[in-house]
Each structure stands twice: as C-alpha cells, then as structure tokens.
Amino acid sequence: MLKEKIKTLSELSEIRNRLRQQNKKVVFTNGVFDILHRGHVEYLDKARTYGDVLILGLNTDSSARNIKGEGRPLVKQEDRAIVIAGLWCVDFICFFEEKTPLKIIQQLQPDVLIKGGDYGLNDIVGKDFVENTGGKVFTIPLTPGFSTTKLIEKVKKFIKERELST
C-alpha cells in the first residue's frame, strides 16, 4: 500500500491531468528527507494545508550525494520514500535524479510550490515557472532545533563519548 504512493513522472502526469479536471489544488515540494524527523513532518503537514494533494519530489541517492556530499544520504532512496509514504499528508512521491526538481515542476505545473523558510523566495527553483502559469509560491518556517545535520552530529558525538568511556 505504501509503495502505491511512489510514482514515475509519467504516472504523475496522468494523475495531475485527472486532478486538474477535478479542480483539485496540487501542492509540490521537494527535498532529500534523510533521517526523517519532527521538523520534516511538521513541514510536510503544513505544506499539505495549502491544497488538496501534496506531491513530494524526492532526491535520488546520487542527487542527494551531489547536494549533501559524500556519505549522504544515510538512508537509501527507497527506504526514505517508504517512510515518507507512511505520512498521511503526502499523497504522492516521485524520485528525481537531477540536482533540482525543475523538470518535475515544469511537467506537473503545480498550483502551489512550497519550500522551507531557509530559502529566500527568489532562490526557489521553479518559482518563475509556477508564477507564470498562475500558481503561487510560499515558504514555510522551519521547526527550530531540528535538522538532519544536527541529528547526525549528535549521534557522532554520542558514539565518540561512548568510545572514550570504554
């Protein structure tokens, strides 16, 4: 059942056409979502409130590595997708290999494009395209104190302390 939320871009294009005919407002966001945490969940939950359907573009492992560096992601793309698919607020997930989701955005033409508050509006990939096709672009404030990078650092510190104490 969870795997049913994971779609190819061509499958999503067909779904998007049906949603358009039903006058459903489609929201799109994207990211790596490595080690899903509270900040991610609150962000996705809030993004879903901007429309009827939330589509998430998920960076593939190689795409994530290009952005985050060697050693990332810690969780493989299929595993990240299944965990995210378990969230009620995410309707569909689509992998993308490129560094940015522009290709998905252009093909799906979402009504709303959302990114985290760590992005300036003018820095959001696809902003101009979405606005030129009549859509809206928003940022959502991040939950303070939650980030994958901080979580990784905390785990490394814990392991180091355990090693020193033995």
Query: What stretches of 60-149 adopt beta strand conformation (E)?
Result: 92-96, 112-116, 136-140
Per-residue model confidence as pLDDT tens digits over 82-92: 999 999 999 99
Report field, pTM of the whole predicted structure over 0.95: no
* Contacting residues for 49 by C-beta, under 8 A, at least 6 apart: none
* pLDDT for 163: 84
* Domain residue limits, the chain: 2-165
- Give the residue, 158 or 32, on which the prediction is more confident: 32
CA distances from 146 to 16, 37, 142, 150, 164 (A): 32, 7, 8, 7, 27
Instruction: Give CA angle at 7 (111, 139), nearest 5°.
Output: 35
Q: Give tens-digit pLDDT for 82-126.
A: 999 999 999 999 999 999 999 999 999 999 999 999 999 999 999
Is pLDDT of 79 > 80? yes
pLDDT confidence tier of residue 164, bands split at 50, 70 and 90: confident
Please state the rounded mean pLDDT for residues 140-150: 84
Residue 144 reports pLDDT greater than 90: no
* Environment class of 26 (CB within 10 Å of its CB; exposed 0-12, middle 13-18, buried 19+): buried
Q: pLDDT digits over 18-33, tens only?
A: 999 999 999 999 999 9
pLDDT averaged over every residue in the chain:
94
Q: Domain 2-165 belongs to what topology?
A: Rossmann fold (3.40.50)
Residue 148 has pLDDT above 80, yes or no: no
